[in-house]
Amino acid sequence: MTQLSTAASLLGPDGGQTLASMRAGLDFLTGPTDQLLARVGQTIEEIPALTPVDKTALQDSFGGSQTAACDDLLVGRGLFYLTEQRRLYLDCTSGHYQMLWGYNHPQLCAAINEAVAAGVVWDNHANIPQAPVKRLAHRLVEAASPPGQRDPIDTVLLGCCTGSVACEAALKMQLVWYKRAHRGRGKPVVVVLDGNYHGTDMVPQYMRGMWRQYVKGLEVATVQPNDAEELKAVFRRHGRRVAAFWAEPIMMNREALPLQPSYLQLTRRLCDEAGAIMCMDEIQTGFWQPEIFAYRTMGFVPDMVIAGKGMTAGFHPLAAVLYKSRYDVLGQYDAINTNGSASLASYVGLCVMDMVSGQGERLAAVGDRFLGRLSELAEEFGGVVQDARGKRHLAGLKFRRVEDALDFHRRAVEAGLWVRVHAYHAGHSTILTKLSLAADEQIVDFIIEKFRSLLRSSAAGARG
């Protein structure tokens, strides 16, 4: 049996047809960027049609009840992907916000093949970490604190497969530390920001208002982002009962809202006074920055940092909790995944860090251009758009009316721009983007001009 026929049989009765379409799609996606951009949103007739595998075995929330023909991802390369109905899209969100370098970056593909040939294993028991795991831990520690930091972040838990598990592990550390350091002070309080998103495990979801009837023994104090007076009042009210403060430098679940450096510097001081742990969730922001972590340019060092998503550029899920060694209070199996500390994924993480650090100036320039041009659009179409927000590649376009945001999203997707819309909470009306670091000025300018064309239609409709 040939390799092709094996793959075909694995993909079902129409697997050969699917493989033929995938191969033709990959060939098409190797074309010049300007030619691909010219065809974004079109059906690419040169690619043979296929009969997609149906979704009926998936849960309803992921399309299991869908009866129409599937139009899911067929194949991707760089920032472009083709669907099973052969439509060409420009991915403006890096997949589910994790594809740091786009789809199947050739440098990473080559590095993975080289690592396997050299003897790097896919995974192994966490008690015997291979060299890439140990080296990645050192690199993360180096990135977490400035040189000469008096009280640095110096320890890494890499036994987490996903950001959700890493968040749960960080919270466990905080609660164990609180019990030891603040015994007898009462129920611990965790201070969080309204609109937070710290994964899908039950207790972190409790921190954003879910499962309240099931979680006992932990109090959550929710404050508005960037409201210094409210923050100070909460710390005064709870004092040394505050076990931890959690924040994301850019709140993508709160319409790409950036936190002000002065707000986080105040938080650092309040946490020190209360004996609380300051925890920065950089699952969304980490590795999208020349400095690796967004907080590094904000004038403070937290006690804990959570990393995930972009760390392995979508190759294999891997997450980490970085922290000061005094918080190393968990037993080996208190927070671990079977596939955490994966050797090959850790090797990819090392490659990612090298690629980011080697292109820092270019990445900053492209990201600044993107947010700057979005800001120009917000000013140009001020009757429809309230503002542009975020930082560099992680950006949002806030609409004045939710109806306009939803309409813009629908038309953008129809035009071949894969963007997301935050409109499911009261007052939310923002188009979200998170460009892959493979984006260049040509990609940025194309997106902006497409957005401008869509906004002209929105503005004309508003006048009408």
Q: Which two tokens stand for residue 99?
A: 């594809």
The residue-averaged pLDDT of 281-303 equals 97
* Residue 97 amino acid letter: Y
DSSP string, 368-395: HHHHHHHHHHHHHTTTTEEEEEEETTEE
- The confidence band for 460, taking pLDDT boundaries of 50, 70 and 90, is confident
Reported confidence tier of residue 168, pLDDT bands at 50, 70, 90: very high
- Please say if the pLDDT value at position 329 is more than 50: yes
Rounded CA separation 294/317 (Å): 21
The pLDDT of residue 129 is 94
What pLDDT, on a 0 to 100 scale, did the predictor assign at position 464?
A: 56
Q: What is the pLDDT of residues 241-274, one digit of tens each?
A: 999 999 999 999 999 999 999 999 999 999 999 9
Please, which residues bridge with residue 73 across strands?
A: 83
Residue in 218, 157, 156 with CA at minimum distance from that of residue 188: 218
**In the CATH scheme, what architecture does the domain 113-358 have?**
3-Layer(aba) Sandwich (3.40)
Q: Name the residue type at position 37.
A: L
**Cα 373 off chain centre by:** 22
> Each residue of 17-72: pLDDT tens digit?
999 999 999 999 999 999 999 999 999 999 999 999 888 888 888 888 887 778 89
Residue boundaries of the structural domains of the chain? 3-105+361-463, 113-358
Q: What pLDDT digit, counting tens, does each position of 435-454 carry?
A: 999 999 999 999 999 999 99
pLDDT score of 463: 59
Interval 108-133: pLDDT, tens: 999 999 999 999 999 999 899 999 99
Give the span between the Cα atoms of 277 and 331, in whole angstroms. 19
pTM of the full predicted structure? 0.94
Is residue 292 within 8 Å of 280, Cβ to Cβ? no
CA distance linking residue 120 with residue 325, whole number of Å: 29
From the candidate CATH numbers 3.90.1150.10, 3.40.50.2020, 3.40.50.920, 3.40.50.1820, the one assigned to the domain spanning 3-105+361-463? 3.90.1150.10
* pLDDT of res. 5: 61
Beta strand pairing call for 420-422 and 430-434 = antiparallel
Q: Is 113-358 the same fold as 3-105+361-463?
A: no
Mean pLDDT of the chain: 94
Checking if the pLDDT of 1 tops 50, the result is: no
Express as a percent the part of the chain with pLDDT over 70. Answer: 98
The strand pairing partners of 77, in sequence order, are 80
Average pLDDT on 336-347 reads 89
Rounded (10°) CA dihedral 136, 139, 145, 146: -170
pLDDT of residue 459 exceeding 80, the answer is no
Residue 363 pLDDT greater than 60, yes or no:
yes
Mean pLDDT of 151-179: 94
Q: Is 216 or 3 the better-scoring residue by pLDDT?
A: 216
Cα separation values, 441 from 31, 93, 190, 228, 275, Å: 18, 16, 42, 37, 46
